[in-house]
Amino acid sequence: MHGYDYSQTGWYFVTICVKNWKCIFGNIDNGEMVLNEYGKIVQKRWLWIQEQYEYVELDEFIIMPNHFHGILIIEYEIHKVGTGRDLSLQGKQKIKPLPQLIGAFKTTSSKMIHQSGKPDFAWQRSFYDHIIRNEKSLNHIREYIRNNPLKWETDKNNPINIKEKQYG
C-alpha cells in the first residue's frame, strides 16, 4: 500500500510466485502438498526468518507447487536510536520492513536452490501483500491457506489455468 510503513508492528499475508509459474516445489497428491527437495528448502528458509529476526513471528503458511502463501507478524517495542529515524529492538537489531524481510527470504532460498541443482530457479519479481486488520480477516486467510492444496485444480496459479486464461 502506497505510503504505508511496512516496518511497523502488524500482521501481513504474503504470496510469492515462482518465475513463469514453474512447478518446482513438489506436487499435490489427494489434496495435500508433498514437498520435494526444493520445497523443503523454501520451508526451511521461511522458518529461518523467525530465527534470524527476533521481532518476526510466523503464522499459517503453505508451499504450493509454484507459489507460497504465508502470514508474517512484525512485533516489537519501539526504541528510537540516533536521529530517531532508525528503529531498533532494545538497541540490538534494526527493524527491517516487510519488503526487506521477503527479499532476505527470496535471496537465501534462491541461493540454496541454485546450490542444490536448480541454477535457473528464480522467484517472480516483487510479491503480493495484504495487511491483516482484524480477526475475521485473519481467520479467513488462515482458512484460505489451509485449503489451498484442495483447490489446486482451480487455482489461478496452476499452469493449466494460466494457459487456458492466456489462450482461452
pLDDT in tens, 65-88: 999 999 999 998 765 555 555 555
Question: Domain 10-167 falls in which CATH fold?
Answer: Alpha-Beta Plaits (3.30.70)
Mean pLDDT (the chain) is: 90
Position 160 scores a pLDDT of 86
Position 134 scores a pLDDT of 97
Residue with cell 486464461: 165
Q: Is the pLDDT of residue 41 over 70?
A: yes
What pTM value is reported for the model? 0.86
Position 149 scores a pLDDT of 96
| Domain boundary assignment for the chain | 10-167
Give the span between the Cα atoms of 42 and 70, in whole angstroms. Answer: 12
| Cβ count within 10 A of residue 39 | 20
- Beta bridge partners of residue 71, listed in sequence order: 13
End-to-end C-alpha distance for the chain, whole angstroms:
32
| Cβ count within 10 A of residue 150 | 13
